[in-house]
């Protein structure tokens, strides 16, 4: 088996860009806590874990890959089954929709309403008067559509030209109106924001910017549920964590939760991006949230984001230790190895955005700054086959 992994990557796995960040090991910072506090994370876990469909997602031990890399332990948090939506995004958008409805009810009625009561339809007439919108590559929109359905809100989803038909249909099946544009992701975000402002709709996004932070903060709080579960599932704290990044919302949320749990003893945080959309790496280069032009779309659709989240920067700028970019070249091969049970003792459904952390770890093995023999590595398998046709096509592309 170990020979099979090596034969699939005869030239090894290589990163395209790498940036080491000198960071002090400090307690959880005030800047990070202003984005996601301990109480925010606790509230999100309490709410999400009360949903009827809730189950902890698996934390797989990749024992076969450990043998290849000479690593102490590799843990893969498998989000392919999350709420039947196939990705971690189910945690953020749906939670943020409920928080928005509760906040609007409080504002308009000077009264509190529990999120559970919203889900039970106790204010369905009020909820039906609120329209939520978002722009997406697929997974986030599906979560917002599901959250809107649970809350009883109308929902509009804006998608760009490269979003697959299968992902569009999945959102429409949840009752959302799907609007496709000719441009890229960032252009869909701009149109969504423009029409939301013109029509009094509420944008639900994990992309934050000046004047728009409360809802993205709630989305990120929802994401921390994933990390809370992993902390509970691991016998010992991780020493390294590899976090894929688009706008940085997931990476910031997971880093924040691990940092607040372990403080100055937090794991090393490694961010992984597509070489085509390296806004996090460029943010560290210029020491402020960066925007990059996307001239080519990556197969890792959820990472195709050119503008870094302001809130994610507030967290990652103080705790990220390294940023790496990878190419599309070996994504399908890694997916195939998961599907064939060559990474662990069972097959795992890993989508395009589920494998960047593994590829970055494999690229790092043997590097001077990585001593893996005693490492406990946490990697996020953030999605499964969110589009069955694309997933199969990628598997079939590997000999």
Active site residues: 89, 137
Domains of the chain (ranges, CATH numbers): 2-88+216-396 (3.40.50.1100), 93-205 (3.40.50.1100)
- Write out pLDDT tens, residues 165-191: 988 999 999 999 999 999 887 789 889
Given a cut of 80, whether residue 368 has pLDDT beyond it is no
User: Distance between CA atoms of 154 and 201, rounded to whole angstroms?
Assistant: 10
Predicted pLDDT at 137: 80
Q: What is the DSSP letter of 297?
A: -
- Write out pLDDT tens, residues 78-92: 999 999 999 999 999
Sign of CA dihedral 307, 311, 313, 316: negative
pTM for the whole structure = 0.94
Sign of CA dihedral 136, 386, 85, 170: positive
Q: Are 266 and 273 spatial neighbours (Cβ–Cβ below 8 Å)? A: no
Q: Are 205 and 96 spatial neighbours (Cβ–Cβ below 8 Å)? A: no
Predicted pLDDT at 186: 79
What six digits make up the tokens of 75?
């843990």
CA triple 226-228-234, angle to 5 deg: 100
Q: How confident is the model at residue 138 (pLDDT cuts 50, 70, 90)?
A: confident
Polymer length in residues for the chain: 399
Sign of CA dihedral 304, 308, 309, 312: positive
Strands (DSSP E) along the chain, which ranges? 17-20, 59-61, 73-78, 132-136, 155-159, 177-180, 202-203, 240-244, 268-274, 322-326, 376-381
Predicted pLDDT at 1: 40
Predicted pLDDT at 369: 62
Given a cut of 90, whether residue 309 has pLDDT beyond it is yes
Q: Are 297 and 138 spatial neighbours (Cβ–Cβ below 8 Å)? A: no
- Write out pLDDT tens, residues 194-227: 999 999 999 998 888 889 999 999 999 999 999 9
Lowest-pLDDT choice from 51-55, 105-109, 176-180, 203-207: 203-207
- Write out pLDDT tens, residues 297-306: 999 988 998 9
């Amino acid at each position: 088996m170990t020979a099979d992994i090596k034969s699939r990557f005869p030239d090894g796995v290589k990163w395209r860009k790498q940036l080491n960040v000198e960071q002090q090991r400090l307690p959880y910072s005030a800047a990070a806590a202003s984005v996601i506090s301990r109480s925010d994370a606790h509230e999100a876990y309490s709410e999400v874990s009360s949903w009827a469909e809730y189950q902890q997602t698996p934390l797989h031990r990749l024992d076969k890959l450990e043998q290849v890399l000479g690593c102490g332990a590799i843990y893969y948090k498998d989000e392919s089954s999350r709420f039947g939506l196939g990705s971690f995004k189910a945690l953020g958008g749906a939670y943020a929709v409920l928080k928005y409805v509760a906040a609007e009810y409080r504002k308009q009625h000077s009264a509190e309403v529990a999120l559970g009561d919203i889900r039970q339809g106790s204010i369905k007439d009020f909820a039906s008067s609120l329209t939520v919108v978002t722009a997406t590559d697929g997974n986030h929109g599906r979560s917002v559509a599901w959250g809107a359905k649970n809350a009883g809100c109308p929902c509009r989803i804006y998608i760009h030209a490269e979003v697959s038909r299968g992902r569009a249909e999945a959102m429409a099946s949840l009752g959302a109106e799907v609007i496709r544009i000719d441009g890229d992701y960032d252009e869909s975000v701009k149109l969504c924001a423009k029409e939301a402002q013109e029509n009094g709709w509420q944008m639900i996004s994990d992309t934050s910017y000046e004047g728009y932070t409360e809802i993205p903060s709630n989305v990120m709080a929802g994401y921390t549920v994933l990390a809370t579960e992993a902390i509970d599932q691991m016998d010992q704290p991780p020493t390294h964590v590899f976090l894929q990044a688009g706008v940085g919302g997931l990476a910031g949320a997971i880093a924040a939760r691990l940092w607040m749990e372990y403080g100055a003893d937090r794991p090393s945080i490694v961010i992984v991006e597509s070489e085509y959309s390296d806004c996090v790496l460029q943010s560290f280069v210029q020491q402020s949230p960066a925007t990059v032009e996307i001239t080519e779309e990556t197969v890792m659709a959820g990472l195709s984001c050119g503008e870094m989240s302001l809130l994610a920067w507030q967290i990652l700028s103080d705790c990220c230790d390294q940023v790496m970019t990878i190419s599309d070249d070996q994504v399908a091969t890694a997916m195939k190895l998961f599907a064939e049970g060559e990474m662990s003792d069972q097959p795992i459904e890993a989508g395009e955005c589920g494998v960047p952390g593994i590829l970055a770890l494999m690229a790092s093995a043997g590097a001077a700054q990585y001593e893996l023999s005693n490492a406990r590595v946490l990697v996020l398998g953030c999605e499964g086959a969110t589009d069955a046709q694309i997933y199969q096509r990628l598997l079939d592309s590997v000999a």
